[in-house]
Amino acid sequence: MKNKIVISGLIIFALSLFSCDDFAEDYLDVKSESTLDESVIFSTPDLAESAVNGIKIPFGETNSYRGRFLPWYGFNTDTEWYNASESTSSDKPDLAVYDAKPTNSEMNSTNNAWAMMFSGIERANLCIRGLRTYGNPVPDSQLGYLLGEALTLRAIYYADLVKAWGDVPARFEPITSETIYIPKSSRDTIYKRLIKDLEEAATLVPWPNETPATSSVERINKAFVKGFRARLALVASGYQQYPDGVRRSNDPELSVNAMYTIALNECKDVIESGKAHLEPSFETFWKKYNQEVINAGGESLWEIPFAAGRGRMLFTFAVNHASNDQYHNNGSNRGGVAGPLPTVFYDYDKSDTRRDVTCVPYRYGNPVNGFAKQQLGALNRWYFGKYRYEWMTRFVTSTNDDGINKIYMRYAEVLLMAAEAANELEGPAAAAVYLKELRMRAFKPEDHLQKVDNYVNALTSKIAMFNAIVDEHKFEFTGEMERKQALIRWNLLGTNLDLAKEKMFNLKARSGEYEDVPTSLYFKYASNNESLIIYGLNRGEHNSPGADYTSYDWTTLSDSKINSIYRVGVNPDNRQFWPIWQVFLDGSNGTLVNDYNY
């Protein structure tokens, strides 16, 4: 009887944590149900759905994904960097330049993402136990779907914990008095559990648009579960920093052959299902994203859902706006916290339609009578064009949040993972079809013979195909903060960061592969007196296009800025993970410690 009271109390406690902020209001309508017994909650589909939806609440808490994890994890890489990496006036750059300390003032708080992720895991554990114990969670049932969703949401929290911190405590059952304090577990054990859980979830969760729940990318569907399982399989078998060095896992269950086989099979299932596809136009896809089109069955497979008053994707990463203007009322100096490295624009093929969507050289200046115009920035400060207030259909009025979702996975990644796994297991000819599909979207039909067929057909060795996949990942995903983990698992983090520095020094000197990059831009305004017409961005455009253009210096790139891609004296491969923050070490009763000489 006492045990039942404790369990029921835990459920009531978990439900009581369901915040009543805007984020929560999107998902929960918890009234007197929170006082019900666990057996009633998880045997009643509508009540169980409220509980499972509550697993998502920690995504939107102040210092969780919303304000700390999503704005800070993922740079600096060979394609993306914090635009103030060279600054020493705060602890923010330390998070990007591979020099974070356990006492980092941005992170060292009890409501940090670390705690919120474990909060989400505890919510999921309670739901999973309740559904298994009191429900009948079989395929093609609402309770079955909810179990699959809960398993997947728990896997998301754990995947991100391991991505950011390496080995972490493994909690796959609700907390008891005996398990309040537990040490870290091997991430190998966690990855194996997640891969197993997602295999089960895929049997319970329908494909996109097969049920009302899976008609939105804000709910879990089979295409995402399978794609996510493929991602975790590749990560689990990849290189990463262990306490004894950077290596692959020694666990034979996580071998390259075993994990790449899982990845390829899962990706093929998604591709052959016809339940997801690329948006025909790269630019149209990103416009729809900013317009908050959340219909499932397209390119976006799942998104972390934020209500209009939560989330900071544009607030952090959009093309910068100096102040409130005709496109938003989100406050001053919004967007532009990070951007593409200045070399990335020039690494794209000029005819690649992804280039001008991804790399933006201008910002919106101070408005006059509420109207702002585009203004050129500097060579060392580009912006991600995938995120734009200008493309929104809703006028943001919150001064702290924009409400735009975080795309957690899209179909393009499934294609690229399929290419990588097929290349490893079957050779470049097997990988070619997937790489071609991605590049066909990137280039106009008249360029397909040269840029798609001839380019891919020339990749006749596994190493040539692999290198092309690494490049394609850059061109497809710059600005989405997926690159860091990919570089780590490919064992290319330190190597490519050093190469990025070398390339930026060459760009600064206009030497080597950047000798034909102009040192001056020329601009004028279009007839709308807002949009810039720019000449000189493309290689070889050295001469003024006419007297109606204004010249603009395009050489600002200092040695200190270049070197700030990672801090001098730091080896990024020895700092692949953040340290556990001091407040959590202090509160662990001595069970948690930092590795890697933190």
Mean pLDDT over 28-40 rounds to 58
Tally of CB atoms within 10 A around 9? 11
**Is the pLDDT score of 236 beyond 50?**
yes
Mean pLDDT over 135-153 rounds to 97
pLDDT at 16: 35
pLDDT in tens, 58-74: 999 999 999 999 999 99
Give CA–CA dist 386/481, Å, rounded.
12
Mean pLDDT over 207-236 rounds to 98
**Is the pLDDT score of 487 beyond 90?**
yes
Give CA–CA dist 205/491, Å, rounded.
34
Calculated CA dihedral for residues 307, 311, 317, 320, nearest 10 degrees: 70
Mean pLDDT over 538-549 rounds to 97
pLDDT at 309: 87
pLDDT at 32: 37
pLDDT in tens, 102-122: 999 999 999 999 999 999 999
Tell me the CA distances in angstroms from 65 to 83, 115, 406, 428, one per residue in order. 20, 11, 10, 38
* pLDDT band per the 50, 70, 90 thresholds, residue 339: very high
pLDDT, mean over the chain = 94
pLDDT in tens, 371-384: 999 999 999 999 99
Mean pLDDT over 11-15 rounds to 37
36-40, 204-208, 298-302, 576-580: which range is least confident on average?
A: 36-40
Give percent above pLDDT 70 in the chain.
94
Report DSSP letters for 305-346, one per residue: ---TTS--HHHHHSSPBSSSBTTB-S-SSBS-SEEE-TTHHH
pLDDT at 21: 39
pLDDT at 7: 33
Residue 403 zone, left/alpha/beta (φ > 0; ψ -120 to 50; rest): left
* pLDDT band per the 50, 70, 90 thresholds, residue 409: very high
Match 């700092």 to its residue by tokens.
575
pLDDT at 198: 98
pLDDT at 56: 97
pLDDT in tens, 499-513: 999 999 999 999 999
pTM of the predicted protein model: 0.94
β-pairing verdict for 240-242 and 245-247:
antiparallel
Mean pLDDT over 162-186 rounds to 97
Can you name the residues that pair with 533 across neighbouring β-strands?
A: 524
**Is the pLDDT score of 558 beyond 50?**
yes
Q: Which domains does the chain have, with CATH numbers?
A: 1-64+111-205 (1.25.40.890)
Give percent above pLDDT 90 in the chain.
93
**Is the pLDDT score of 19 beyond 90?**
no
pLDDT at 80: 98
6-15, 279-288, 350-359: which range is least confident on average?
A: 6-15
pLDDT at 3: 31
**Is the pLDDT score of 217 beyond 70?**
yes
Residue pair 80/341 in contact (Cβ under 8 Å)? The answer is yes
**Is the pLDDT score of 461 beyond 50?**
yes
pLDDT at 276: 98
